[in-house]
Amino acid sequence: MLRITDVILKTDHSADEIGTAVLKRLRIVKKRLLSTKVVKRSYDARNKENILFVYTLDVEIENEKEILDKIKTYKKISLAPDTEYRFKAKANSQNFKRPVVIGSGPCGLFCALILAQAGFRPLIIERGKPVKERSADTFGFWRGGHFDPASNIQFGEGGAGTFSDGKLNTQIRDTENYRIKVLNELASAGAPDEIRFVSKPHIGTFRLVKVVENIRNKIIELGGEYLFETQVTDLMSENGEVTGLVLSNGGTIGTDSAVLAIGHSARDTFEMLLNRGVTMEPKPFSVGFRIEHPQELIDRARLGKYAGDDRFGAADYKLVHHCSNGRSVYTFCMCPGGRVVAATSEEGCVVTNGMSQYQRNDVNANSAIVVGVKPSDFFTGVPGGVEFQRDIERKTFLLGGGDYKAPTQLVGDFLKGVPSASQGTVKPSYQPGVKWTELSSLLPEFAINAIREAIPEFAKQIKGFDMYDAVLTGSETRTSSPVRIVRGDDFQSVSVRGLFPGGEGAGYAGGIMSASIDGIKIAEAVSLRIVNGDR
Ligand X SMILES: Cc1cc2nc3c(=O)[nH]c(=O)nc-3n(C[C@H](O)[C@H](O)[C@H](O)COP(=O)(O)OP(=O)(O)OC[C@H]3O[C@@H](n4cnc5c(N)ncnc54)[C@H](O)[C@@H]3O)c2cc1C
Q: Which residues bind ligand X (CB under 6 A)?
A: 102-108, 125-128, 153, 155-156, 159-161, 163-167, 231-232, 261-263, 266, 269, 333, 341, 343, 353, 355, 503-505, 509-513, 515
> Of 119 and 128, which CB lies nearer to ligand X in the complex structure?
128
* Torsion sign (Cα): 6, 11, 12, 15: positive
**Contact yes or no for 123/98 (Cβ under 8 A):** yes
> Of 256 and 316, which CB lies nearer to ligand X in the complex structure?
316
Q: What is the dihedral of CA 275, 278, 281, 285, to 10 degrees?
A: -80
Question: At a CB cut-off of 8 Å and minimum separation 6, what does 27 contact?
Answer: none
User: Can you tell me the distance from the alpha carbon of 219 to that of 222, in angstroms, rounded to the nearest whole number?
Assistant: 5
Q: Where are the beta strands (DSSP E) in 132-240?
A: 225-227, 232-238
> Of 341 and 442, which CB lies nearer to ligand X in the complex structure?
341
Query: In 34-67, which positions are buried (b, 16+ CB within 10 angstroms) versus exposed (e)?
Result: eebebbebebeeeeeeebebebbbbbebeebeeb
**Contact yes or no for 395/442 (Cβ under 8 A):** yes
Report the nearest approach of ligand X to the CB of residue 455 (Å): 22
> Of 263 and 400, which CB lies nearer to ligand X in the complex structure?
263
Report the nearest approach of ligand X to the CB of residue 252 (Å): 14
> Of 156 and 383, which CB lies nearer to ligand X in the complex structure?
156
Report the nearest approach of ligand X to the CB of residue 335 (Å): 7
Report the nearest approach of ligand X to the CB of residue 392 (Å): 16
Report the nearest approach of ligand X to the CB of residue 160 (Å): 4
**Contact yes or no for 286/374 (Cβ under 8 A):** no
> Of 269 and 431, which CB lies nearer to ligand X in the complex structure?
269
Length of the chain: 535
Report the nearest approach of ligand X to the CB of residue 519 (Å): 7
> Of 323 and 333, which CB lies nearer to ligand X in the complex structure?
333
**Contact yes or no for 115/101 (Cβ under 8 A):** yes
Spell out the alpha helix ranges (H) of 37-159: 64-69, 106-117, 131-142
Report the nearest approach of ligand X to the CB of residue 68 (Å): 38
> Of 167 and 390, which CB lies nearer to ligand X in the complex structure?
167
> Of 127 and 529, which CB lies nearer to ligand X in the complex structure?
127
**Contact yes or no for 373/447 (Cβ under 8 A):** yes
User: Can you tell me the distance from the alpha carbon of 44 to that of 119, in angstroms, rounded to the nearest whole number?
Assistant: 44
Question: At a CB cut-off of 8 Å and minimum separation 6, what does 183 contact?
Answer: 168, 195, 196, 201
Report the nearest approach of ligand X to the CB of residue 109 (Å): 7
Report the nearest approach of ligand X to the CB of residue 469 (Å): 24
> Of 333 and 373, which CB lies nearer to ligand X in the complex structure?
333
User: Can you tell me the distance from the alpha carbon of 397 to that of 146, in angstroms, rounded to the nearest whole number?
Assistant: 15
Report the nearest approach of ligand X to the CB of residue 198 (Å): 14
Interaxial angle between packed helices 205-221 and 131-142, expressed in degrees from 0 to 180 and rounded to the nearest 10: 160
CA distance between the termini of the chain: 42
> Could you tell me what percentage of the chain is helix, strand and coil, using 3-state DSSP and rounding each to the nearest 5?
30, 25, 45
Query: In 283-309, which positions are buried (b, 16+ CB within 10 angstroms) versus exposed (e)?
Result: eebbbbbbbbbbbbbbbbbbbeebbee
> Of 356 and 527, which CB lies nearer to ligand X in the complex structure?
356
Question: At a CB cut-off of 8 Å and minimum separation 6, what does 427 contact?
Answer: 363, 364
Report the nearest approach of ligand X to the CB of residue 477 (Å): 11
Report the nearest approach of ligand X to the CB of residue 157 (Å): 7
How is the beta sheet containing 52-61 ordered, strand by strand? Answer: 33-44, 52-61, 2-10, 77-79
> Of 167 and 395, which CB lies nearer to ligand X in the complex structure?
167
Report the 10 Å Cβ neighbour count for 91.
16
